[in-house]
Amino acid sequence: MDQLDRLPISRHLSLRSLALVSKLEVGLPLIMGLWIVAVSFAVGLRLAFAATPITTTAAAISNVLPYLLVVTAPVITVFLGLRSFKPQTLVAQPTIRLARFGRWRRVDAVTARSLPLFGTGGFMASLMIGILINVPFRTFEFLSGLPALGGMAPDWFRMLFTVMFVDLVFLSCLYGFAFVLALRHVPIFPRFLAGVWVIDVMMQICIARVMAHVSNLPPEVAASLSDMLQGNLKKVLISVTLWLPYLLLSRRVNLTYRLRVPA
């Protein structure tokens, strides 16, 4: 794939994608601020139309706290990731190499950074943006699909809200951290992203099994939940199909995250 970078047009697009990623990195504080404002507004609308009336202070607090995590958890994760991995910091390569496809030879970190393919240009920029967009997409899917808990919500609704809330916050943090690893050229990024995909699939399966044992779950809710979980599974599997070969075989990925070039 990265052989296309030898062509003038592809080289130009690669440089533009590198510039886009640089602007994205510089604009992360603004993006996180806009995220807080937009999601807080959406949460406010959701709480204003709770499933059942929120009549007590305790009920109000118990309703607000989960949404507070929905708003802040991805931001905190990205912030801590950026603080942990500074720009241009050299991070040691993993001891055990998992990606063994192809024939490669090692290069030192200084040589790697001097080569044209080093960095997050080309298809890597598209992958990174896709990882980042996954967070707001899942968040607004959660906010639009599940009304806020009221004071008299049934048990099946509380369980559904809980499992979907855990799924959202946990995976939003994982995808946000994966984005930081990619941005900072941290060597464990490819295997970390693969691990997140596995966790994502397992979470959808676990939610389905948990909700299958919940009594009094309305059939229409069960059908809607099944469609959503299947859709999430399909999106993850499509991502794996599209991007796993790239993570394994791309010259850019192998140079940037594994410090190796074709033998």
Q: Residues 84-129: pLDDT tens digits? A: 998 877 888 888 888 788 889 999 988 998 898 888 888 898 999 9
Residue-level pLDDT at 56? 66
Domain boundaries defined on the chain: 2-262
- CA–CA gap between residue 177 and residue 35 (Å, rounded): 16
Mean pLDDT of the chain, nearest integer: 87
pLDDT at 41 over 90: yes
The length of the chain, given as a count of residues:
263
User: Between helices 123-145 and 57-84, what is the axis angle to 10°?
Assistant: 170
3-state helix/strand/coil string of the chain: CHHHHHCHHHHHHHHHHHHHHHHHHHCHHHHHHHHHHHHHHHHHHHHHCCCCCCCCHHHHHHHHHHHHHHHHHHHHHHHHHHHHCCCCCCCCCCCCCCCCCCCEEECCHHHHHHCCCCCCCCHHHHHHHHHHHHHHHHHHHHHHHCCCCCCCCCHHHHHHHHHHHHHHHHHHHHHHHHHHHHHCCCCCHHHHHHHHHHHHHHHHHHHHHHHHCCCCCCHHHHHHHHHHHHHHHHHHHHHHHHHHHHHHHCHHHHHHHHCEEEC
Banded pLDDT at 11 (limits 50, 70, 90): low
Kindly state the percentage of the chain with pLDDT values over 70: 90
Average pLDDT of 77-87? 92
Residue-level pLDDT at 49? 79
Task: Name the least confident of 10-24, 202-216, 227-241.
Answer: 10-24
Q: Residues 166-215: pLDDT tens digits? A: 999 999 999 999 999 999 999 999 999 999 999 999 999 999 999 999 98
- CA–CA gap between residue 229 and residue 234 (Å, rounded): 9
Residue-level pLDDT at 227? 92
